[in-house]
Structure 1
């Protein structure tokens, strides 16, 4: 009995031992399978010192086109010289000799070239390379073919240097619309349409997976997904009108000695932008190949059409007429236009101290009588009325228009003041009032179209590379002018006389009003310590455009901005004749 029990215990012990041995074998076999089959490649790569890196492949960026499909920003394939930073780093001298020869071939300063291949990071000044160290670093764009061939044929002198054909941004119309088109620059920033519509234009990056040995050298390409080209942006800009506006602005500033200025052309009935010109400007091709810190500091990047702010002078009086009507003043009544009007102990003079007798409100606009508006503003101020300010904000002043461009200025509509005389200055577009050329153009476009305020749009539609439309861009309606239809018709009628018999008649002498019935308003705004700011705001029913010109230190509106606006209108008329 005891022997059987002992044998049973021995058998159970042997069984347990077998189970343990089998379990250990299974575990060992499983581990070997995992190491050799599942993780074999990883360990082989580790043994060989090989790792995998992913490099982004930049897509072809979409074009920016004008309303007729003419390229404003396009792509051109040119020889580009690139440097393999890792390969240079493994040279005995760190690549200094190669860079020296390359700098001489490219006719670039050595320091500038060396700066381009430094990796960006904390404490690293620009220029530097913000991308991957495992991709070629472009150091020169649009290289002459002869230089590119020289580098290619002398690879022994230029190890780690390659030349290939790559697309770069080109600007067929040169400086025209440079501020509006904008830029995207690593380490510098972004602006204009390139920034606002970047998601549409950028496309989808591809990727290249490469094997890299423990020395940092790419040994082979493991796989590659191609990039997808970006969509193109069709704008409402008319390249021909843009060029006309740029020339008119430059001519007027040269003639008057003005320091800066802007011109805006809007489609009155739609809120679309046909042209935005600003001076000083710059040539956007400067971005090709990147800019140094010194070059960037010297660029004139302020878009004065959208970001410039000036006192509007008498162009503001259209809002003051609407305010007077809203406050109960009759537009057909007669008002005195003496040489001056006294507010408290201060005499506010008419322009040139002219005494023009009595006139209707229409005459006050046509002849631009200041004292009519001084009196009405002072009377409303003494009654505690906020109608002038509320009417001005209803015209869209003191608020951004909402255009599809970054950095838009807000302008200024001062709050009601307790000081006598501030209201009088407010009524003629002085005394802290500031507008941008775009704000004024939008208000005059609303006068022309019957009262609708739009958020202007430069973009018109986004199209795929095959030409099909992704989406259309429609300027949204943001409000209505705070004036009745009768008041708006009255203002339009008065402004139609300004270039015919009013303050702009000399500038428009002989103009073909039968073809383009231009209406408008001159403005001359004082600027402390500077010459006057010159304005002319205008519109026509056919073609239904609104044109606004401002010249900083350009003198009187009738002598500076009005002739420039006429030049733009004549150019538009010439385009219509060509069609």
Structure 2
């Protein structure tokens, strides 16, 4: 056995270098990684410190608010919408509280079946169609048919209105069967007059998502009660009628349960809008217009639409405004089905959303002669001269005839208005056209066009209603612009001739060739048609009523107003809407008086005498002018424009019956019935409402306007919300 050799071990260890003194070898493992790790740790600490500083200093208030919001919930408290009242304080639009069943769009969408089961059970409880309910929960869009929800998905979707209390109770007591469904009291708009003045009053609809995003205060919470005015007065005065919503800040726990109230801001009720309208006169106007159209239809006329306007000539306020076809504004409540919506927009249904009084544009026919007479006299024609009224007159190279070829010999301008002699006005227009230089004018006066614009035609009146039309007053400049727009079509028509889809009628072919070649030229025939309110002239019934109101009141053109005043819900604050003067008629006092005298003859012995045969003109003299507007391929449209009493004017009344015949036969009787109602000249009937076929009784009806004038005082709104009517207008 060999012994252990220690010396060898010592020798081997002696040859190893000392680790403490030996130089470090290049690329020693772990050194670089350790340095990098240390740098990263330091950098992370710096970033963390910076982030902590940012959150605790610059963003401190933001996160403090966010923390508070995690413990609170805001609840909008809708304001009571103001009523719309007539001048005497009678409600035209009021609020009616009813039970409404609503759905939460997102709550239904989050359910596994998209809410189908809930809506099926709800349809059974409400005794309605499931498809109808499902349709109402869809959001409206370009490809979505009605019914659908036109409002925001963040507000309650109305599914059913005026629900019986026992039905609502079933829903609320069985919430586990109806998740996302609620039943609560809502204030709905109510229209005591039904369809009366529907286009004037307007309607409400839910706020859209776009509108919601523009109204920052309502972005997180929105009440389904607080709707937006979409048309008429509801739209124009939406902000003042709607008031200011209140806010309840509720304390909630981590599970969302309400534990108390942190803060409450009471809602500010909307203001009541007192209008210049009269509910009784409105009803009379609506009935008279409808009866006039029915009568025309019975005579075989199309009678497709109509409008009537009653203005207070002393202030320009609207007393009544009717348009046919009309509609019941209740159709908008809780959504609208596709068929009803299509009918409101359909030409076949007469587009009942359109107000013919404000938006309808029609040739004014002979009612326009007041402007032509004014232009001729102010241009040098004698008021006291004698003018020839033949059956026809040559204007340029065309013969223009009187209505039905009648002739009246040598007459005054006053007589020309009374009997509505077209040929006198053709000649006046032809003379002014020649004075301007005819086909080659040099600095033309365009007297007729300028006078028509001075009467307020060809521009909006400025009424406080949306979508007003401007009408059209042609001039040399207008005709040139119109020619450039239509030239291509006219040239194609002229080139086509009789057998190639062009103008089939010889006269139409000639016109098409003229329009193609030099249709920009203002011809003698254009002036002749202009003179009697035909050709390219278009006006609205409101414009015509304002013009006759100006003749009546001494020449002042007002901006028509429906609103008369705003009254706070407690009646303590009253903000009047003052009349606005828009200008003066550009005629002398002598010409104005001459016109007034001529118009007074029309109901007595002129073209409207048949309608006013037994009317007490000695008590309430009427001044007015008939008009029968013709159009290619259509029946004549009937006009009557008037004011009364002629010796102390208070009201201007205009009626238009489209495609209904002549003004004297069809429109004047409508206006007569309106005056009968205003002044109490209509005979009593067995039916208190004056229904059709009721037998006359002895005596007259009560006048709609006591003393033949609107109330001077505003209705008084009491603190409890009730309204006191002015003296003389109380039941």
Q: Distance in 1 between matches of 2:250 and 2:653?
A: 56
Preserved contact between residue 461 and residue 469 of structure 1 (Cα < 8 Å): no
Native 8 Å contact 2:229 2:238 kept in 1: no
Give per-residue Cα distances to partners, 1:487-541, cap 9 Å, x unaligned: 1111111111100100000111110112211110000110111100100000013
CA contact (8 A) 2:446 2:475 kept: no
Task: Give the Cα–Cα distance (whole angstroms) in 1 for the partners of residues 237 and 324 of structure 2.
Answer: 24
1:225 offset after TM fit, Å? 3.1
Query: Measured at CA, do residues 551 and 503 of structure 1 come closer, stay the same or move farther in structure 2, by a change above 3 Å?
Result: same
Alpha-carbon shift at residue 172 of structure 1 (Å): 0.6
Residues 96, 190 of structure 2: 8 Å contact kept:
yes
Q: In structure 2, do the counterparts of structure 1 residues 392 and 149 end up closer, same or farther at CA, with 3 Å as the change threshold?
A: same
Q: 1:298 aligns with which of 340, 343, 355?
A: 343
C-alpha contact 1:117 1:137 (8 A) present in aligned 2:
yes
Asked if the contact 2:274–2:567 (Cα under 8 Å) also holds between the matched residues in 1, the reply is: yes
**Cα distance in 1 for residues equivalent to 2:650 and 2:543:** 18
Q: How does 1:133-148 map to 2 (within 5 A)?
A: 133=154, 136-148=156-168
Q: Structure 2 CA distance, aligned partners of 1:104 and 1:429?
A: 61
Taking the TM superposition and a 5 Å limit, the aligned residue runs for 1:98-497 are 98-118=118-138, 127-128=148-149, 130-131=151-152, 133=154, 136-186=156-206, 187=208, 190-209=230-249, 218-220=256-258, 223=262, 224-257=264-297, 258-299=303-344, 300-384=352-436, 385-416=445-476, 418-497=522-601
User: How far off is 1:293 after superposition?
Assistant: 4.2
Contact 2:77 2:245 in 1 (8 A): yes
| 2:638 aligned residue | 534
**What is the distance in 2 between the residues matched to 1:38 and 1:356?**
89
Equivalent residue, structure 2, for 1:5: none
How much does 1:376 deviate?
1.0
- Residue 85 of structure 1 deviates from its aligned partner by 4.1
Deviation at 1:191, TM superposition (A): 1.2
Deviation, 1:113, is 2.1
1:22 is aligned to none
d(CA) in 2 for partners of 1:427 and 1:145?
65
Name the Cα RMSD after superposition: 3.0
Shift of 1:341: 0.5
- Matched residue of 1:559: which SS? helix
Cα distance in 2 between the residues matched to 1:438 and 1:39: 56
Rounded to whole Å, the distance in 1 between the matches of 2:62 and 2:527 is 82
Q: Any unmatched runs of 5+ in structure 1? A: 1-26
Q: Does structure 1 conserve the Cα–Cα contact (< 8 Å) formed by 2:92 and 2:193?
A: yes
Distance, in Å, in 1 between the alignment partners of 2:118 and 2:251 is: 25
Aligned-pair CA distance for 1:153: 4.3
Q: Which has the larger radius of gyration?
A: 2
Conserved? CA contact 2:549–2:652, under 8 Å? yes
- Superposed CA deviations along residues 135-186 of structure 1, whole A, max 9, x for unmatched, are 6443222123343244344444334422222210000111001000012323
Tell me if structure 2 keeps the 8 A contact 1:210–1:219. Answer: no
- For 2:17, the equivalent position in structure 1 comes to none
- Please list the CA deviations of residues 291-313 of structure 1 after superposition, one character each: whole Å capped at 9, or x if unmatched: 23442221220011000010000
Alignment-derived partner of residue 666 in structure 2: 560
Aligned length: 544
**What does the per-residue CA deviation read over 1:103-124, in whole Å, with 9 as the maximum and x for residues that have no partner?**
2332443344234445679987
Q: Which residue of 2 aligns with 1:12?
A: none
- 1:453-487 CA-partner distances (Å, limit 9, x unpaired): 00000000111001133421112111100111111
Q: Tell me, in whole angstroms, the C-alpha distance in 2 between the residues paired with 1:110 and 1:515.
A: 63
Post-superposition offset of 1:218? 4.5
1:519 to 1:39, Cα distance in 2 relative to 1, 3 A = closer
Distance 1:334 1:44, change over 3 A: closer
**TM-aligned CA deviation for residue 433 of structure 1:** 0.3
| Distance in 2, Cα, partners of 1:536 & 1:43 | 67
For the structure 1 residues 536 and 356, does the alpha-carbon distance in structure 2 shift closer, same or farther, using more than 3 Å as the test? same
> What is the TM-score with the length of structure 1 in the denominator?
0.87
Partner Cα distance (2:63, 2:396) in 1: 95
Q: Aligned in 2, Cα 1:219/1:89: closer, same or farther, shift over 3 Å? A: farther
Is residue 106–residue 153 contact of structure 2 (8 Å, CA) maintained in 1? Answer: no
How many Å separate the matches in 1 of 2:257 and 2:141?
A: 27
Instruction: Tell me how far apart the structure 1 counterparts of residues 550 and 90 of structure 2 sit (CA, whole Å).
Output: 29
- Deviation of 1:285 after TM superposition, in Å, equals 1.4
Deviations 1:230-278 (A, max 9, x none): 1110000001000000000000001012110100000011101100100
Distance 1:39 1:423 in 2: 72
**1:76 and 1:566 mapped to 2: Cα distance?**
36
Could you tell which deviates more after superposition, 75-84 or 271-280? 75-84
User: What is the TM-score when the length of structure 2 is the normalising length?
Assistant: 0.70
Partners of 1:355 and 1:323 in 2: CA distance: 24
Relative to structure 1, is the Cα distance of residues 73 and 261 closer, same or farther in structure 2, using a 3 angstrom cutoff?
same
Task: Provide the rounded CA distance (Å) in 1 between the counterparts of 2:577 and 2:530.
Answer: 36
Q: In 2 relative to 1, CA 227–359 (structure 1 residues): closer, same or farther, beyond 3 Å?
A: same
- Partner secondary structure for residue 546 of structure 1: strand
- Secondary structure of the 2:462 match is coil
Q: 1:502 aligns with which of 606, 619, 622?
A: 606
Question: What SS does structure 1 have at the residue aligned with 2:370?
Answer: helix
What residue ranges of structure 2 are gaps of 5+ in the alignment?
1-48, 209-227, 298-302, 345-351, 437-444, 477-520, 681-702, 708-727
Match of 2:19 in 1: none
The 1:569/1:131 distance shift into structure 2, 3 A limit, reads same
> Is the alpha carbon distance of 1:464 and 1:39 closer, same or farther for their aligned partners in structure 2, counting shifts above 3 Å?
closer
Q: Using a 3 Å threshold, how does the CA distance of structure 1 residues 279 and 43 change in structure 2: closer, same or farther?
A: closer
Query: Is the contact between residue 403 and residue 422 of structure 2 (CA under 8 Å) also seen in structure 1?
Result: yes
Distance 1:250 1:122, change over 3 A: closer
* Secondary structure, counterpart of 2:524 in structure 1: coil
Change (3 A) 1:424 1:119: closer
Distance 1:328 1:209 in 2: 75
Which residue number corresponds to residue 7 of structure 1?
none
Deviations 1:351-392 (A, max 9, x none): 111111110011000000000011111011011041111111
Label 1:38 to 1:307 Cα distance change in 2 as closer, same or farther (>3 A).
Answer: closer
- 1:562 Cα offset (Å): 0.4
